[in-house]
Structure 1
Amino acid sequence: MSNSDDSRLSTSALAKRLKLPIQQLFVTLRDYEWIQRQGKSWALTAKGELQGGAYQESQRFGRYIVWPESLMEHPLVTAIESNQRIMPGGMQRYYPHLGVRQINRNFAELGLLKLTRRGLELTSLGERFGGRQERDEDNGLLLVSWPHEIVDDAVIHRELNRLAGSGTTTDDPGSGSATSEAVEAPAPDTVAPDLFSEANEVSLALESQSEAQRYALDGHAVDSLLQLRVCDWLYTAQFAHARNRRLPVEELLSADFYVPALGLYIECWERDVPTTTLTRRLRTREVCRELDLAYQEVTAADIDRVDELLTKCVAGLS
């Protein structure tokens, strides 16, 4: 069937009129069984023809599918409008200083998706944020779409603004909560221990430092010898890690360490901590369990078996 009626719209033009991502409309029409994939092109099904779909020929584009304008009022099509999805490309409208790759990498660092050879693989945490696994019909690579409301999600807004370098944060500097994502550099007059001296001398030097003066091998400031052991283990095991990383929730909660490659949050439980610190750590543990996030506690009693404990933990996640 051929039709050259100018009132008919191509699928791409229909998506533009509906203000929908083109890929989303093609995928939805496929799910409705109005079109189907045939080789590298789309073909109408019997259902699609019943909805007014037809073929149109063009010297430039060849044969393509067109639809009547009345389709914009179809209940199934209006339902698409009320459940719009967005891709990272669409998010650039709200975060113009970020590229698609930057947004995807940030989502991967948060644990919402994984960057694989197959494309973008949605995680269970990503599903909690409304993510839906899609597939690019042209190349077969996996994609992830998100509900349009995700651009207003407080956690996503916080993280993408930080990535864009806005410097904005919702942390209260006077709250006393260990949620700062920035690590101050050592003061000019701070003398770090000689890492090439005898082990006993290094140990004594570390023990003699005040808590605010401890620095791990990678330069991270730490608050205790236990945190130092964990930080150095992660560094020497060649795991990129963050210090005092915010959890993917609106609450002012953070973990001592976060390993993005494993989606792992690590908390160091010291002896005789203040009640406020204990309360925060208990809440961090609770949230990690609620969201099914990888979580590991290292207690003061584990200080001499950090290698054994973390090696076992990493093996279980790999």
Structure 2
Amino acid sequence: MSGDDSRLSTTALARALDIPLQQLFATLRDYGWIERRDEHWLLTPKGEYEGGCYRDSKRYGRYIVWPEALVQHPLLSAIESNQRISASQMRRYYPGLQPRHLNRALAEFGLQQSTILGWELTALGKHFGGQQVQSESSGAFYVSWPHEIVDHPVIQRELERLTARQAVTAAAEPAGPVERTVSGHDSTDLFASAGPIAAPMVECRGIDGHHPGTCLQAAVCDWLYFAQQAHALKRALPVEEELYADFYLPAGRVYIDCWEDGAPAAQLAAWLRNKEVYASLDLRHLEIKAGDAEYLDEVLGRGLLAFGIRC
């Protein structure tokens, strides 16, 4: 090669080959050119033989670069970029997840749903490029996805979070034991502070163990729990922006936001942005106002019934 400037990062190489980045990483790994170690991609002797080397950057740290001529390499130029993949085949890019985890994750996010026929595509799934397919052997329904979905920021974010949770083997231990007196209380001197005694804070905690931010959210959380509706708290919306709904019901793919009185401008702006996303993606959603707290049976009951959810 004429110089280091003519080398391509793996991202640039994927762009030159017109294939998804995650597909290229998986291919290079399968060829034995790179390996994953401690959350980093490292060159193997075979990768070094093909011309790979490292480049250091203040912004990106250390990363692998390749000769520009690899664009013409027969093993890479033969990669098909227009093929479609199923959730089971996505395991190649997320080896820590089983096919059932991937299918359930896509369903929880509203891209597909489980029925007696199999996995059926939803309207949001179509937005992500999904297509309904029927197995020729079993007749079961499943969804195929464009290969580029493995590079979609929203899909990457959700599946990487799921991978991280699967990898956790034990919860963190407390920093140390709390010293107790014979009465069972900690040994902190309650009278050590010369300041006034602060009034106890009202803890808005759901009966299911969730810790919502407000008492209105706690009331909604309890209502959903007693209605036996599985729900997530502070669920990310299916967009690249960091937007979160207060609650999400995966069974009906319904998002719920609690509009509090006297909320700061930033929170109000976030709620309004959520509404725009719900409208643009045609997502099911409900808004609970502060005045609805005493009428949740009517507001939530009727609202969810409109989406086919009986409580």
For normalisation by structure 2, the TM-score amounts to: 0.62
Distance 1:209 1:136, change over 3 A: farther
Q: Is the 8 A contact 1:161 1:167 kept in 2?
A: no
In structure 1, what residue type is equivalent to 2:208?
A: D
Q: Tell me the equivalent position of 1:210.
A: 201
Distance 1:273 1:136, change over 3 A: same
Q: Is the 8 A contact 2:245 2:255 kept in 1?
A: yes
In structure 2, what residue type is equivalent to 1:300?
A: A
In structure 2, what residue type is equivalent to 1:287?
A: V
Q: Tell me the equivalent position of 1:152.
A: 151
Mapped to 2, the partners of 1:214 and 1:278 lie a distance apart of: 21
Deviation at 1:89, TM superposition (A): 2.2
SS in 2 for 1:252: coil
* Residues 51-96 of structure 1: per-residue CA shift (max 9 Å, x gap): xxxxxxxxxxxxxxxxxxxxxxxxxxxxx94521011222111100
Deviation at 1:229, TM superposition (A): 1.1
1:13-52 correspondence to structure 2 within 5 Å: none
Mapped to 1, the partners of 2:230 and 2:137 lie a distance apart of: 34
In structure 1, what residue type is equivalent to 2:133?
A: E
Q: Tell me the equivalent position of 1:133.
A: 132
SS in 2 for 1:165: helix
For 1:222, which of 191, 209, 212 is the aligned residue? Answer: 212
Deviation at 1:241, TM superposition (A): 0.5
Mapped to 1, the partners of 2:129 and 2:261 lie a distance apart of: 39
* Residues 1-35 of structure 1: per-residue CA shift (max 9 Å, x gap): xxxxxxxxxxxxxxxxxxxxxxxxxxxxxxxxxxx
Q: How many residues align?
A: 200
Mapped to 2, the partners of 1:209 and 1:122 lie a distance apart of: 50
Distance 1:229 1:86, change over 3 A: same
Q: Tell me the equivalent position of 2:296.
A: 306
Q: Tell me the equivalent position of 1:261.
A: 251
* Residues 217-268 of structure 1: per-residue CA shift (max 9 Å, x gap): 0011122221111000000000111111100111010011111101010000
Mapped to 2, the partners of 1:87 and 1:222 lie a distance apart of: 36
Which segments of 5 or more consecutive residues in structure 2 lack a partner in the other structure?
1-78, 168-177, 179-198
Q: Is the 8 A contact 1:133 1:142 kept in 2?
A: yes
Asked whether 1:297 is paired with 2:296, we answer: no
Which segments of 5 or more consecutive residues in structure 1 lack a partner in the other structure?
1-79, 169-187, 189-207
* Residues 133-161 of structure 1: per-residue CA shift (max 9 Å, x gap): 00001111111000000000001001111
Asked whether 1:110 is paired with 2:100, we answer: no
Q: Tell me the equivalent position of 2:306.
A: 316
Q: Is the 8 A contact 1:155 1:249 kept in 2?
A: yes
1:83-98 correspondence to structure 2 within 5 Å: 83-98=82-97
For normalisation by structure 1, the TM-score amounts to: 0.60
In structure 2, what residue type is equivalent to 1:154?
A: P
Q: Is the 8 A contact 1:257 1:267 kept in 2?
A: yes
* Residues 289-308 of structure 1: per-residue CA shift (max 9 Å, x gap): 11111100000111111111
Q: Is the 8 A contact 2:81 2:147 kept in 1?
A: no
Mapped to 1, the partners of 2:243 and 2:230 lie a distance apart of: 21
SS in 2 for 1:160: helix
Mapped to 2, the partners of 1:209 and 1:243 lie a distance apart of: 25
SS in 1 for 2:92: coil
Mapped to 1, the partners of 2:94 and 2:165 lie a distance apart of: 11
The CA RMSD over aligned residues, in Å, is: 2.0
In structure 2, what residue type is equivalent to 1:269?
A: W
